[in-house]
Amino acid sequence: MQLTKHGHACVVLTDGERRLVIDPGAFTDPGALQGATAVLITHEHPDHFVADRMRAALAESPGLEIWTNRSVAAQLEGSGERVHVVGNGDVVDAGGFEVAVHGELHAEIHPEIPRVANIGFLVAGRVFHPGDAFTVPEVPVTTLLVPLHAPWSRTAEVIEYVREIRAGQAFSVHDGLLNDTGLGVVGGLLGERGPGIPTPLRRLAPGDAVEL
């Protein structure tokens, strides 16, 4: 299985002809959806989900299906049975990939800002994308996709999250708001200039791919 980063929070997992896209939001090149057999969307914020873009993708690809939470699905009303609502504890087949759903809510940005629904996806029992939350699955994680930077997090929380998951390897996502200086600072704190984490962490630039 190959993992490709496609900007900010979006990654694509490919296995043969199967192509699973996760969170192709506004900070991601729409080309990430080309050839997709299935799409997973963690929550409704525009850096993870653009309704018009997903409607266009459904129209262009008759075989494409989407798995997401109820609030995102409501914005795609009229798309029929190709949009599937899932929640914490569900296990589904999404385009030939086994996907287990973990979590319920977006991390708190501020007490006065309502929290939206957010679900994380564990793909093939190996790769976990938490969306905008520090959800800890109750099963081991081989590859963790780490939300590196967000209005709702502190670097200390990111470090503790990686420590708690204790994955075999990790790749940073949700880093589209950082310039090169910020990437160096935050990456350093999770690396050689920080207190230490038990998991090797790499950053993939948009377009970079690794074999898992």
CATH of the domain at 178: 3.60.15.10
How many domains are there within the chain?
A: 1
Per-residue pLDDT, 65: 97
Residue 141 lies in a domain: yes
Distance CA(28)–CA(92), nearest Å, equals 25
- Looking at the DSSP bridge assignments, the partners of residue 201 are 170
| Euclidean distance between CA atoms 138 and 142, whole angstroms | 13
- Residue at 209 is within a domain: no
Does a structural domain hold residue 8? Answer: yes
Confidence (pTM): 0.97
Q: Is residue 135 domain-resident?
A: yes
- Whole-number Å distance between alpha carbons of 102 and 165: 13
* C-alpha closest to that of 68 among 60, 50, 59: 50
In a domain? residue 132:
yes
Q: Are 194 and 188 in contact (CB under 8 A)?
A: yes
- Identify whether 61 is part of a domain: yes
Q: Determine the pLDDT at residue 127.
A: 98
Per-residue model confidence (pLDDT) at position 193: 94
CB atoms within 10 A of CB 160: 14
The continuous run of DSSP H or E covering 20 comes out as strand 18-22
In the three-class reduction of DSSP (H, G, I as helix; E, B as strand; rest coil), residue 99 is classed as: strand
**What are the structure tokens assigned to 2, written together?**
């190959």
Per-residue pLDDT of the chain (212 residues; tens, 9 = 90+): 999 999 999 999 999 999 999 999 999 999 999 999 999 999 999 999 999 999 999 999 999 999 999 999 999 998 889 999 999 999 999 999 999 999 999 999 999 999 999 999 999 999 999 999 999 999 999 999 999 999 999 999 999 999 999 999 999 999 999 999 999 999 999 999 999 999 999 999 999 999 99
Q: How does DSSP classify residue 150?
A: -
Task: Give the separation between CA 203 and CA 187, rounded to whole angstroms.
Answer: 8
| 60, HSE (Cβ side, Cα atoms, 13 Å) | 13
Does some domain include residue 212? no
Cβ atoms of 24 and 11 within 8 Å: the answer is no
Measured distance CA(151)–CA(47) in Å, rounded: 12
Residue 168 belongs to what domain range? 2-204
In a domain, 66, yes or no: yes
What is the per-residue pLDDT for 80? Answer: 87
How far is the C-alpha of 193 from the C-alpha of 185, rounded, in Å? 9
Edge-to-edge strand ranges of the sheet holding 169-173? 91-94, 97-102, 120-123, 127-129, 143-147, 169-173, 201-203
